[in-house]
Structure 1
Amino acid sequence: MVPERRRLLSRRWFYLLLLLPGLLFALPLAEEDLNAIRSVTDFYGQRAGKRMQAWRELIQRGKQQQWDEKRALTEVNRFFNQMKFLSDVVLWGKNDYWASPMEFIGAGGGDCEDYSIAKYFSLLELGLNDEKLRMVYVKSLTYQQFHMVVAYYPTPAAIPLILDNIDVAIKPATQRKDLVPVFSFNGSHLWLMKERGQGQLAGSSSRLTLWNDLRSRFSSEKLKRPKLNLDD
């Protein structure tokens, strides 16, 4: 099979996998979900709209079935790890850009921050407490570069579980010797990570400019058009 033909078939299977849960468990969506789907469809195209619908159906299914936290982590991690990895320079024409979940889904890909942000906001929607979640900026020893993951703390003193787009299996932080934590944050706080634990509180997460910009765009649903259209 020629490479181009193989690439097109892989894409079709990807979209089928995104849509399959919705086909099997069709759920009525709230008006705000339908509006979001229409916005993404109008701005990014039909395939992006289907991805958006699959995400909103995932969230509604989790709420309806009252997933426990372990199930929510598994489903959200699996869903977003299907997206394509691309650097901010290639996709957005910027050295560093934190995409909102709608932008990430609309574009059909992104970098490690985009995976982590989409997972974080999805888990909040599914009812997980913000105090149990952090986005952690780490250094990947495997790739010798900075990286971002999501950490889930079952209890404040527990060893966190790591949701990652590189190693897609959810593992305790003690099993991720390839990651060295630098700092972490959630909706309220910022921590400096001096060790593989809670870290030292360093103030409010509002100190992070990119985080403030992201939350502003996310709350107002302002969308940015990517430099590269993955659906072309």
Structure 2
Amino acid sequence: MFWFPAAATKRGATRRGRQHARAGLRPRLLPCALLWLGVTWSVAALDAQRMEKAAQQLGPNAVSGARALQQDLAELQSAEDRQKLAGVNQFFNRRLAFRDDQLVWGQLDYWASPLETLQQGQGDCEDFAMAKYFSLLAVGMPPERMRLVYVRAAIGGPGGASQAHMVLAYYPTPQAEPLILDNLIGDIRPASRRPDLTPVFSFNAEGLWQGVGPLSAGDPTTRLSRWREVLAKARDQGFLP
């Protein structure tokens, strides 16, 4: 397991990305990872009216879920980061059931917005992680403190099989060991207590990296599709300005 520090200047990361591009090197990414839109945000404010309107268009589960989420986020607005993490992590882990995209959406891989996931009442690891990510952005968590991380999750003990999985990592400082928010384990644990997870690559609003370290995985603007779509949906639904 290698949870390298997240610290890196954008200039340094970009320079290293160019060097690796010239050398013809590319990170080994999962198929649904080739999707990126380079966007940066300041502290986001939740737009309750947009969220309510979007929820009504999706259905009653989205409406009740959105209202419950708004209430929780309002209570967390002035809380410390750890309280925000715990509140958002608990909200989605308790409210949602884990189901594969094929069962929920009839597709092998679908990146749902938070309200779409609340309407279904279920989702896969990506849906859990992204719902937490956008909700934390909406409650004012600085985007540079969070990364969505694709990992290989060991199952069946040492030497057993592994499966692709996504978690949300929180860095209190750039050099700190991250805390891991996961739908498989209810409590938030430091990465050192998750030996079952091996990072493959990570991303957030500011870039895309190999593992969770400072090494850039190239120009993020070349990776669009699903990530761009889920960002647009999250914005339309009031999670982003």
TM-score range, shorter chain: 0.7 to 0.9
Instruction: Give the share of equivalent positions with the same residue, in percent.
Output: 40
| Structure 1 contact 113–148 (Cα < 8 Å) conserved | yes
SS of equivalent residue, structure 2 residue 218: strand
Q: Quick one: structure 1 residues 114 and 76, their matched pair in 2 at CA, closer, same or farther if it must change by over 3 Å?
A: same
**Residue 174 in structure 1 maps to residue 189 in structure 2:** no
Please point out which of 84, 95, 119 is paired with 1:72. 84
Tell me the TM-score normalized by structure 1: 0.74
Distance 2:213 2:91 in 1: 27
Q: Map of 1:108-119 to 2, 5 A cutoff?
A: 108-119=121-132
1:39: Cα distance to partner? 3.4
Of structures 1 and 2, the one with the larger relative CO (CA 8 A, separation 6+) is 2
Distance 2:219 2:136 in 1: 21
If each structure's helix is expressed as a fraction of its own residues, which one has the higher value? 1
Judge which range, 51-60 or 213-222, deviates more.
213-222
1:204: Cα distance to partner? 4.7
Cα offsets for 1:61-86 (capped at 9, x unmatched): 212xx100000000000001011111
**Residue 41 in structure 1 maps to residue 61 in structure 2:** no
Tell me which residue corresponds to 2:66: 52
Cα offsets for 1:9-59 (capped at 9, x unmatched): xxxxxxxxxxxxxxxxxxxxx9942452343234322x4321111011111
Distance 1:159 1:79 in 2: 24
Tell me the TM-score normalized by structure 2: 0.72
Please point out which of 149, 168, 183 is paired with 2:167. 149
| Structure 1 contact 104–110 (Cα < 8 Å) conserved | yes
Structure 2's unaligned 5+ residue stretches are 1-44, 156-160
Cα offsets for 1:159-190 (capped at 9, x unmatched): 10000000121111111100010000001200
Match of 2:215, as an amino acid? Q
Match of 1:198, as an amino acid? G
Tell me which residue corresponds to 2:111: 98
Q: Map of 1:115-154 to 2, 5 A cutoff?
A: 115-142=128-155, 144-154=162-172
1:88: Cα distance to partner? 0.6
Cα offsets for 1:71-119 (capped at 9, x unmatched): 0000000001011111111111111111011111111110000000010
| Structure 2 contact 134–234 (Cα < 8 Å) conserved | no
Distance 1:208 1:160 in 2: 27
Q: Quick one: structure 1 residues 31 and 174, their matched pair in 2 at CA, closer, same or farther if it must change by over 3 Å?
A: closer
CA RMSD of aligned residues (A): 2.1
- Number of aligned residues: 187
Question: 4+ residue runs of structure 1 moved beyond 6 angstroms?
Answer: none
